[in-house]
């Protein structure tokens, strides 16, 4: 019978873990929803900035990209977040926004 008690304890622990994981996923979904709202705001600002730029080189603006990366790495350090994860996330987002802005400029 002791092995049956262990299985029951394992089952209880597994259910508790599953419930905690479900709760964490709900919280992640809430964060994702908030982040999409922020990305929407960023897109509107990118459109405004794009209208002020002279050419495609000013859209790509590698010096500005590096300035943004330095800023977000610093913010990550201040908040105890892995700066490499933040940098990689921002590089992907910036690349997507550059592509978007170039399409808008070209009327695509």
Domain range annotation of the chain: 1-52, 55-108
- CA-angle at 23, arms to 91 and 5, nearest 5°: 130
Q: How far apart are CA 82 and CA 97, in angstroms?
A: 23
CA distance 1 to 9: 13
Average pLDDT over residues 17-27: 97
Residues 6 or more apart in contact with residue 33 via CB below 8 angstroms: none
Whole-model pTM: value is 0.83
In residues, how long is the chain? 108
Interval 45-74: pLDDT, tens: 999 998 899 999 999 999 999 999 999 999
């Amino acid at each position: 019978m002791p092995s049956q008690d262990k299985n029951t304890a394992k089952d209880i622990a597994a259910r508790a873990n599953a419930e905690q994981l479900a709760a964490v996923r709900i919280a992640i979904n809430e964060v994702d929803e908030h982040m999409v709202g922020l990305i929407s705001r960023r897109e509107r600002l990118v459109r405004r900035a794009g209208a002020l730029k002279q050419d495609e080189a000013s859209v790509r603006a590698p010096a500005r990209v590096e300035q943004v990366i330095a800023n977000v790495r610093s913010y990550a350090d201040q908040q105890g977040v892995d700066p490499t994860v933040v940098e990689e996330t921002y590089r992907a987002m910036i690349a997507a926004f550059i592509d978007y802005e170039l399409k808008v400029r070209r009327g695509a």
